[in-house]
Amino acid sequence: MHPYGVREVEKLLGLARSTIRGLVEAGFVSPARGPRRAWQFSFRDLIVLRTAQALVAAKVPRRRITRSVKELRRHLPASMPLSGLSICAVADRVVVKEGRNRWQAESGQYLLAFEGDPDNGSLSIIEAKGVDEAPDAQAWFERGEALERADAEASLQAYAHAVAAEPSHLDAWLNRGWLLHKLGRLAEAERSYRDALEGCGGDALLQFNLGVLLEDLDRKADAIEAYEAALRADSSLADCHYNLALLYEDARKPREAIRHMAQYRRLTDGKSR
């Protein structure tokens, strides 16, 4: 299999060039030098790079990471095996599955699996819960949750896989929209929520989250519409009443503002008793 340049590694693994450089300088991989002394990474290097970065993101101690990737690199094949390969963590062990054979690397906490096509050299890396787990919608959702702090982009991709497999997977839609919102990708978040409403119907939480997003976009009339739709689906959403009260007050509609604030107080007082 041909060596991979830095640009290919960036594209395949989703790692920034500075991250790749840091992992090389830390000694996790030692790429060969090509023309003009450019780094050339092997298939084995790709696995070690992504595994090391995942462990770093999971705050595994550096000494432990070094032991894990050293042992992993020693056992990995130089090229993609036709039988397929997966790497995952089971409890405190890093387990490698090659076809029907499995073997352990040094102990590690982060869980990775990766798949590739030996014919075209494509490579994708995903988090997995176990060696034999098939990535259905729920599995993709759980991977998305696990990746949110360490790799937001990979988390978004996992949620996208989840809703593609099951368009009515409400939790995946909610998490995906929230994460896009948190990342400041507001237009994408709105599109995601609109798509979610088509897949899940007029769910109250989706409408509420859309209302919060529209407020951040300073589209107050649209936010009011979303909040009202949320309450039609579930009138017990206290925060929705509160947000509407403030929006109606700002719109100089005191009657509506008072009504929703009264509903908010009734609902929150009821919860405190």
Say whether both 73 and 119 belong to one domain.
yes
Q: Which pLDDT value is given to residue 122?
A: 38
Say whether both 85 and 173 belong to one domain.
no
Say whether both 165 and 238 belong to one domain.
yes
Q: What is the pTM of this model?
A: 0.52
Cα-Cα-Cα-Cα dihedral of 17, 172, 191, 245, to 10°?
A: -120
Task: Indicate left, alpha or beta for 167 from its phi (over 0: left) and psi (-120 to 50: alpha).
Answer: alpha
**Tokens coding 214:** 């529209």
Q: How many domains does the chain have?
A: 2
Say whether both 168 and 266 belong to one domain.
yes
Say whether both 192 and 98 belong to one domain.
no
Say whether both 34 and 113 belong to one domain.
yes
CATH number of the domain within which 257 lies: 1.25.40.10
What is the SS3 assignment for 188? Answer: helix
Q: Which of 105, 126, 147 is the last residue of a domain?
A: 126
Q: Please count the CA atoms within 13 angstroms of the CA of 95 that sit on its side-chain side.
A: 16
Say whether both 192 and 268 belong to one domain.
yes
Specify if 201 maps to a domain: yes
Mean pLDDT, each 10-residue run in order, the chain (273 residues): 75 76 76 84 75 65 65 56 46 51 44 40 39 64 86 89 88 94 93 90 92 95 96 93 96 95 87 44
Specify if 1 maps to a domain: no
Residues 6+ apart with CB under 8 A from 164: none
Say whether both 146 and 39 belong to one domain.
no
Q: Which stretches does DSSP call E strand in the chain?
A: 32-33, 39-40, 85-90, 93-98, 101-104, 113-117, 122-126
Say whether both 146 and 251 belong to one domain.
yes
Q: Which pLDDT value is given to residue 148?
A: 86
Tokens 């009515």 belong to residue: 168
Say whether both 261 and 148 belong to one domain.
yes
156 is in which domain, residue-wise?
137-272
CATH number of the domain within which 87 lies: 1.10.1660
Q: Which of 75, 104, 126 is the last residue of a domain?
A: 126
Q: Which pLDDT value is given to residue 59?
A: 63
Specify if 120 maps to a domain: yes
Say whether both 103 and 143 belong to one domain.
no
Q: Which of 104, 126, 148 is the last residue of a domain?
A: 126
Say whether both 52 and 101 belong to one domain.
yes
The per-residue b/e assignment along 2-11, b for 16 or more CB within 10 angstroms, e otherwise, is eebebebbee
Task: Using DSSP bridges, classify how beta strands 101-104 and 113-117 pair: parallel, antiparallel or unpaired.
Answer: unpaired
For 109, 112, 196, 203, the CA distances from 182, given in Å and listed in that order, are 27, 25, 17, 21
Specify if 213 maps to a domain: yes
**Tokens coding 237:** 């959403």
Q: How far apart are CA 14 and CA 23, in angstroms?
A: 14
Q: Which pLDDT value is given to residue 61?
A: 64
